[in-house]
Chains A and B, each alone.
Chain A
Amino acid sequence: MGISTRPNTAGVWIIVPAFNEAKVIGDVVGDLRSVFANVVCVDDGSRDNTADVALRAGAHVVRHPVNLGQGAAIQTGVEYARNKPGATHFATFDADGQHRVQDVLRMLDRLRRDDLDIVIGTRFADTTVSHTPPLKRLILRLAATLSPSSRRLHLTDAHNGLRVFNHTVADQLDLTMSGMSHASEFISLIAENHWRVAEEPVEILYTDYSMSKGQPLLNGVNIVFDGFLRGRMR
Chain B
Amino acid sequence: MWIQVLLIAAVIALLVYLLGSRTNAKAKAGVKVGYVLFVIAAVYAILRPDDTTVLANWLGVDRGTDLLSYALIIAFAFTTMSTYLRFKELELRYARLARAVALQSAKAPES
Contact = CB atoms under 8 A, between A and B. Distances in A.
B92 interface: yes
13 contacts: A1-B111, A42-B102, A58-B109, A58-B111, A60-B108, A68-B94, A72-B99, A75-B99, A79-B99, A176-B92, A229-B88, A232-B85, A233-B89
Interface string B85-111: 100110110110011011101111101
Given A176-B92, A178-B92, A55 B101 contact: no
A158 to B, nearest CB: 21
B105 to A, nearest CB: 7
Nearest to A33: B109
Given A55-B109, A60-B108, A233-B85, A76 B103 contact: yes
Contacts of A232: 85
Contact of A76 (B88, B102, B108): B102
Contacts of A63: 102, 105-107
Given A69-B95, A178-B92, 12 more contacts: A51-B107, A55-B109, A59-B109, A60-B107, A61-B106, A62-B102, A65-B101, A68-B94, A68-B98, A68-B99, A72-B99, A75-B99
Interface string A134-178: 000000000000000000000000000000000000000000101
Interface string A8-38: 0000000000000000000000000000000
B107 A61 contact: yes
Given A60-B106, A61-B106, A233-B85, A66 B99 contact: no
A72 B85 CA distance: 18
Contacts of A69: 95
Nearest to B104: A62
A66 B102 CA distance: 10
Interface magnitude class on chain B: 10 to 19
B109 to A, nearest CB: 5
A68 B89 CA distance: 14
Interface in A42-70: 42, 51, 55, 58-66, 68-69
B109 A68 contact: no
B98 A66 contact: yes
A179 B96 CA distance: 14
A97 B45 CA distance: 66
A209 to B, nearest CB: 24
B102 A55 contact: no
Interface in B53-104: 85, 88-89, 91-92, 94-95, 98-99, 101-103
A51 B105 CA distance: 12
B102 A64 contact: yes
A80 interface: yes
Given A72-B95, A178-B91, A62 B109 contact: no
A58 B108 CA distance: 8
Contacts of B99: 64, 68, 72, 75-76, 79
A59 B108 CA distance: 7
Nearest to A71: B95
B82 to A, nearest CB: 11
